[in-house]
Structure 1
Amino acid sequence: MSYIAIRKIHSFALAYRGMFMAAVLLFGVALGQLQAQSGQELSLQDLSEFEDPSDSWQIAGDVSAPLDQENTVITSEGTGVLVNNPSDHNGADLLTSFEHGDIDLELEYMMASNSNSGIYLQGQYEIQLLDSWNVKVPTSGDNGGIYERWDTNRPQGQEGFQGYAPRQNASRAAGLWQHLEISFQAPRFDDEGNKIENAKILHAELNGVTIHENIELYGPTRGALEEDDVAQGPLRIQGDHGAVAFRNINIRRYDGTAPTVSDFEFKVFEGDFDELPNLDSLTPIKSGTSEKLTTNLSGLPDQFLMQYTGTIQAKEAGEYQFQLNTAGGGGILSVNGKQVIPFDSNEHTVSLPEGESSFEILYHKQAGWSDPNLQFVVSGDQLRAHVLSDQSLSSGNNVNPIYVHAEDKPLLRSFRDLPGGIRVTHAVSVGSLDKLHYTYDLKSGNIVQAWRGEFLNVTPMWYSRGDGSSRPNGSVLNLLEKPALALNKLDNEQESSWSDDTSGTGLKPKGYQLNKDDEPTFNYQIYGTSVEDEIRVIEDGKGLQRTIDIQEAPDDLYVRLAAGSSIEEAGNHRYIVDDAYYIEAAGSSSPIVRSIDDRQELLVPAQSTVSYSILF
């Protein structure tokens, strides 16, 4: 082998370690979570994607589900929304015209009040859909749960077994759109049709919260189409229980077979190399054969160059995406004698013929402080990311998360990062026993986030030196894109923009006072008036009740209750904001919905007391 210039690695060691860590995280996403842009959206222009739909199923342009009316949906003409309304018809399950094995599924759904439905993967394994709005301790029968299996031969009261509750209740209120992502691995069978591996829910996420991970399904759940596991089956939606709607159904099927690697031979050369040497001229400190591609070898020095050679066996010719992740240094992948991943990259698409191909991996670990780790991953259009190397190894940089729970109604000061990358520097997070929490920005006198579930992940703040920030540990409702005042003066209630600038307002935060139940009321001065901002969790954790008391409010002062892309009136003094939450303004004067700067806002004139609820 001749000398090959590979750049100085000294300046790249830290970068490659960072690249490796990022790649590990990205691989976790590729393996367990849906990449919607790579999938195919199910057409909802009509019902042609489904087999013999019953009269209870229809295509609509829009749908609503009144919060106060059980099992009721109201539709409007058009296309794009799949609706089941079994109240006036004999409801029946809906089956797709295609069958699937491994699949990533992403969709949005809306539950009617007190309604019940479900999604059966392969027609066999049910993910429960239910109006579980205010459930504190969810079971397998609640929203997002993996429904239990059933055996009538078991003792009475124990017929149900092997159901899996979601990790936490991330459900939204009836009538609001909810977002579900599922990565499913079908059961595996040998050539004789014997099951050799159970089905798995690799990852499931509800409203932005991981609710299941690596759950093995030992058999079909109750109500399955077939008694035993199958290799292929239709996607099935339960339709005989309650009213439900679906939209933006995105499906990615994985029907490809992963290549295999074998015939591993390795050599390890000690040292820190500025360029790739002629390996034939060096004496390895370790060499031999291995049953797997691994760095789990005893006696490795802090700095080394490792060479692996072997065979890739592709059952199907095609384009394959290879990813090579190397900790503390860099790597090179060559296939059939051609370099396909150089040191300055970590992935490349390779065209493999059917049958055997040779490969070589060179891993140069230069950073002495890093644990050795090599990860070799293959994926494709019809192939979910598959690890070809030793999966038992980690990056060597795992951190046990640090959580703060809400048993004692904690208040915690920290930084808080909003989705757009804006940092709230004066944030106070308030926990509740009802598992509904919120963050208040002292600098603007407003609520920026609310969430349902567990309280806070403070790992970024308390691990090592930290960066001062915390993260909600639940399903987050972002009420503001960036910090903004709750109160503002407007020259014209229809035309004046809502200013985010506090200069000229005389805003002076005055902290907060705790009542006997350790619940805070925030105080500040603005425009020469004193404000008391009381936020309380509504009974059963259905939302937040906010009461703003203002001393001698000027005539041109307004309170902004909500801002978003869309605000729709829903009756009974309720408004739906961005399909994500309700504002109930029964305790305020007549609200004003206005459109300004391509956004909509819900305002009320400031009075001595302004009261409203946030329901989600």
Structure 2
Amino acid sequence: MTKKILFYIALLLIFSCAKDEKKPIKDAASIEQKEETTLPFTHIELNDMSAFKPTAKNWQIVGNPVADRVKKGTFTSTKGTGILLNTPNENTKDNLFTNFEHGDIELELDVMMPLESNSGIYFQGRYEIQLFDSWGVTKPKYNDIGGIYQRWNKDAEKGKEGFEGHAPKVNAAKAPGLWQHLKVIFHAPKFDAEGHKTKNAWFEEVRLNGMLLHENAEVTGPTRAAAFGDEKPLAPLMIQGDHGAVAFKNIKYKRYNDTHIKINEAVLKIYDNTVKQIPITHLDSLKLLEEHKTDAISPLENMGRNDQKVLVYSGTLNIPTTGTYIFDATVNGSTVLIIGNDTIIGMNADFDMNTTKYEKVNLKEGNAHFQLLYNKPFPWRNGFDLFVEGPSMQRYSFLKDGTSILNKNNPINPIVLDVKDTPLTQRSFIGHKGVKRTHCISVGLVEGMNYTLDLATGSLLHVWSGDFFDATQMWHSRGEHQRGKPMGFVVSSHGDLDYAPLNDEDDTWPKVSDGSFSFKSSGYTFDVQNIPTFSYKLDEAEITDRFVAASQVKRGLERTISSNSSITLWHKIADGTNIKPLPDHTFIINDESYYIVIPEHNAIKTVVRSSNGKDELLVKIPKGNQTFKYRIIW
């Protein structure tokens, strides 16, 4: 809570007291990291099986699992906690049910599929999100990972028993044996007082590894192999145990009721702001254009694309439940929200859509007075969104119509770069772990493998596959955001300097040059296939760096680094919470969950070490002329 105020104080004073709250755009990411942006999830603690109904021994709690990359459906694991593992056999293959029941639910977890394995998560034990080793599938179907499995009519004509399956929009599957992040927002079917179904179940959102697979996908009844044939408002979650091996960790959820903060009574005052007053310090100096009652916060109904106005809503809210709420606002212009005697959102300055303000507040059940100001002083700048999340209340827009899209009637057509018969390169700003990098180049290869380098540090930032590059924020209109964006699901690397002259393998890896050595880009050249080679100088040492699509794997890049140096150099390949050596010169990076494969090389020494709370994978490059390769597989 920012401050207590007396509600009878003039509104203009409330607004002026917040005018210094704007933070520079470059600090927006760090601000969000420090703020609480969501209410906490309930975590399933995987110390034992107490969160689940009694089941067979195919389910167990273990330590680190490792999937065999050659043998189908096979795990090895260590004793420990934190991982839920299913290893079925012909005699032991029970499904697993949670002790809790759910209706509407938001579920997040990490899942690992071994080679060619098959499982599924059944919401309410009835509606399945498929889990499958779908790595490299070009045209995913309902039975690939993230698909909504089809329903089944055993009495239908042979070959036509299945119906209503939903294929994922894209295949976002990682390689078998890698952790993958799944997020699902599910809504249970709705029933009237007599128990008659009034609305089908639906999946509001399904995401795998950050990629949207489904949006508002309806299911008219239980899918195939469901535990129950009927439909209920509440039922347990079920994980399929009779098909194949699978591992889970970091399981968390939020259960929701269908509740919202209601607006009982409100008055809207609309002021002319062609004088471009921002921050609002003298509201009474602006001309009042109109005043009327309203039952919704509807900026788009009262604000045209080129208008310059101030909207001020005041009235009464009905708070459904006593507890903690989080409001978040994003605005092109300024906004202030007051509930009771408290300023919830104080953004009375010239903000843009790069900055989101979050505020946590405790509210009591019942009626509360509110005031909301939205100031749009410039005709060419549009955008205002205000969201709220509360106890058992899913985050939703407090506005009847948000304006974050420049014009709802004329949405932006994305500006994308597509790779066809020759590789593409594009210079841009790129976001990496909350930081805007300004000296980046992204490369799209014809095989569908893509990557981004930071030329200032020589560091690999991102790898991804599929579609290449979204330049909308760079080239649309004035390009306010000035950032390019990878179009596929992204695996991010460490982002530190890729090369350094360490005294020994115990030296701390430098994030930037500390002045003891210099590092700079020498540019890049293209071969006849338009594939770039990047050149750098570290003091007098010369380094070149080249990427091509890895052969004989479904998704991967092969990186070739050459050096000519009078001193020993070191190359940092990766860091993570845990780096585990596997057979065949392979390492699994568990922080981002990808593989590094380093062929055996007589002159090159590979080191896995712990430093500053992380594991690091380094390569020692002897002086002289050296060339080595490794593969990044995800």
Quick check: TM above 0.5?
Answer: yes
Alignment of 1:567-578 (within 5 A): 567-578=579-590
Partner of 1:475: 489
Do the aligned partners of residues 283 and 505 (structure 1) sit closer, same or farther apart at CA in structure 2, a change above 3 Å counting? closer
Contact 1:594 / 1:602 at 8 angstroms: preserved in 2? yes
Q: Tell me the residue number matched to 1:113.
A: 115
Counterpart contact for 1:168–1:453, Cα < 8 Å: no
Q: Do structure 1's residue 439 and structure 2's residue 452 form an aligned pair?
A: yes
Q: Is the 8 A contact 2:96 2:239 kept in 1?
A: yes
Partners of 2:322 and 2:93 lie apart in 1 by 45
Distance of aligned partners of 1:9 and 1:395 in 2 relative to their CA distance in 1, 3 Å threshold = farther
For residue 294 of structure 1, the aligned residue among 298, 320, 327 is: 298
1:609 aligns with 2:622: no
Tell me the secondary structure at the aligned position of residue 475 of structure 1.
Answer: coil
Equivalent position of 1:413 in the other structure? 427
Contact kept? 2:67, 2:75, Cα under 8 Å: yes
- Give the C-alpha shift of residue 178 in structure 1: 1.5
* 2:203 maps to 1:201: yes
Structure 1 residues 522-537: aligned runs within 5 Å: 522-524=534-536, 531-537=543-549
Aligned counterpart, 1:513: 526
Counterpart among 380, 400, 413 of residue 390 in structure 1: 400
2: CA distance between counterparts of 1:304 and 1:58? 59
Q: Secondary structure at the match of 1:108?
A: strand
Deviations 1:301-337 (A, max 9, x none): 84355445456374x56665667887744445455xx
Matched residue type, 1:447: L
Q: Is the Cα–Cα contact under 8 Å of residues 13 and 366 in structure 1 kept in the other structure?
A: no
Q: Are 2:596 and 1:544 aligned?
A: no
Give yes or no for the alignment of 1:585 onto 2:598: yes
Shift of residue 41, structure 1, vs aligned partner: 1.1
When residues 104 and 84 of structure 1 are mapped into structure 2, their CA distance, relative to the original with a 3 A threshold, is: same
How far apart are residue 196 of structure 1 and its match?
2.5
Structure 1 length-normalised TM: 0.82
Distance verdict in 2 for CA 1:358–1:325, change over 3 Å: farther
Q: Tell me, what secondary structure is at the counterpart of 1:7?
A: helix
CA deviations 1:509-534 (Å, max 9, x no partner) are 25122234x33344456665655533
Instruction: Tell me the equivalent position of 1:180.
Output: 182
Paired with 1:564 and 1:220, the residues of 2 have a C-alpha distance of: 40
Structure 1 residue 263: Cα displacement: 5.5
8 A contact 2:519–2:536 mirrored in 1: no
Cα distance, 1:122 vs structure 2: 1.5
- Counterpart pick for 2:391 among 381, 384, 403: 381
2:127 maps to what in 1? Answer: 125
Cα deviations across residues 368-414 of structure 1 (Å, max 9, x unaligned)?
A: 53789886755322211244542476564664432222234322222
Alignment-mate amino acid for residue 497 of structure 2: P
TM-score (norm 2): 0.80
d(CA) in 1 for partners of 2:371 and 2:454?
51
* Deviation for aligned residue 1:77: 0.9
Structure 1 pair 515/143, CA: closer, same or farther in 2 (3 Å)? farther
1:146 aligns with 2:148: yes
Q: Distance in 2 between matches of 1:594 and 1:144?
A: 34
Q: Which amino acid is 2:235 matched to? A: G
Looking at structure 2, the residues matched to 373 and 549 of structure 1 have their Cα atoms a distance apart, in angstroms, of 49
> 1:562 is matched with which residue?
574
Asked if structure 1 preserves the Cα contact closer than 8 Å seen for 2:457 and 2:496, the reply is no
Aligned to 1:75: 77
Q: Within 5 Å, which residues of 2 pair with 1:303-382?
A: 303-304=309-310, 306-309=312-315, 312=318, 314=320, 328-333=333-338, 341=344, 349=361, 351-353=363-365, 357=367, 359=369, 361=371, 363=373, 365=375, 367=377, 369=379, 378-382=388-392
2:12 aligns with: 6
Deviation at 1:482, TM superposition (A): 2.2
Match of 2:616 among 578, 584, 600: 600
2:99 corresponds, among 97, 105, 112, to 97
CA distance in 1, matches of 2:346, 2:456: 47
Structure 2 CA distance for aligned equivalents of residues 299 and 247 of structure 1:
47
User: How far apart, CA to CA, are the structure 2 residues paired with 1:555 and 1:307?
Assistant: 68
Partner SS for 2:474: helix
Q: Secondary structure at the match of 1:461?
A: helix
Q: Distance in 1 between matches of 2:10 and 2:146?
A: 54
Distance 1:340 1:403 in 2: 41
Give the CA deviation at 1:73.
Answer: 0.4
Correspondence 1:134 to 2:136:
yes
CA contact (8 A) 1:14 1:329 kept: no
Please tell me whether the aligned partners of residues 119 and 244 of structure 2 are also in contact (alpha carbons under 8 angstroms): yes
Contact 1:340 1:350 (C-alpha < 8 Å) held by counterparts? no
Shift of 1:71: 0.6
- What is the Cα deviation at residue 452 of structure 1? 2.8
Letter in 1 for 2:416: Y
Residue identity in the other structure for 1:403: V
Following TM superposition, by how much is the alpha carbon of 1:507 offset from its aligned partner in structure 2, in angstroms? 5.9
Aligned in 2, Cα 1:349/1:195: closer, same or farther, shift over 3 Å? farther
> Relative to 1, partners in 2 of residues 1:469 and 1:209: Cα closer, same or farther, differing over 3 Å?
same
* Distance 1:152-1:479 versus aligned 2 partners, 3 A rule: same
Paired residue type of 2:298? T
Q: CA RMSD in A?
A: 4.1
Contact 2:418 2:469 in 1 (8 A): yes
Are residue 495 (structure 1) and residue 501 (structure 2) matched? Answer: no
Q: Is the 8 A contact 2:437 2:454 kept in 1?
A: no
C-alpha contact 1:8 1:275 (8 A) present in aligned 2: no
CA contact (8 A) 1:3 1:275 kept: no
Q: Which amino acid aligns with 2:632?
A: I
Give the letter for the 2:137 counterpart.
V
* Displacement of 1:48: 1.4
> Could you tell me whether the CA contact under 8 Å between 2:71 and 2:115 is conserved in 1?
yes
In structure 2, what residue type is equivalent to 1:206? Answer: L
* Cα distance, 1:230 vs structure 2: 2.2
Whole-Å Cα distance in 1 between the matches of residues 454 and 272 of structure 2? 55
Query: Which SS does the other structure have where 2:69 is aligned?
Result: coil
Q: What residue number does 1:464 align with?
A: 477
CA distance in 1, matches of 2:92, 2:538: 59
Task: Report if aligned partners of 2:118, 2:132 keep a CA contact under 8 Å in 1.
Answer: yes
- Would the alpha carbon gap of residues 255 and 600 (structure 1) be closer, same or farther in structure 2, given more than 3 Å must change? same
- CA drift of 1:72 comes to 0.5
Q: Distance in 2 between matches of 1:158 and 1:561?
A: 51
Query: SS of the counterpart of 1:78?
Result: coil
Return 5+ residue gaps in structure 1 as ranges. Answer: none
Equivalent residue in structure 2 for 1:160, among 151, 159, 162: 162
Q: Match for 1:614: what amino acid? A: I
Q: Is the 8 A contact 1:270 1:284 kept in 2?
A: yes
Q: What is the deviation of 1:233?
A: 1.4
Structure 2 residue matching 1:6: 3-state secondary structure = helix
CA contact (8 A) 2:262 2:319 kept: yes
Structure 1 residues 246 and 89, CA gap change in structure 2 (3 angstroms): farther
Cα shift at 1:83: 0.4
What are structure 2's unaligned runs of at least 5 residues?
1-6, 349-356
Task: Check 1:137–1:14 CA distance in 2 against 1; reply closer, same or farther (3 A cut).
Answer: farther
Deviations 1:228-267 (A, max 9, x none): 4321111111111111111111122224733444466656
Cα distance in 2 for partners of 1:429, 1:441 equals 9
Corresponding position of 2:254? 252
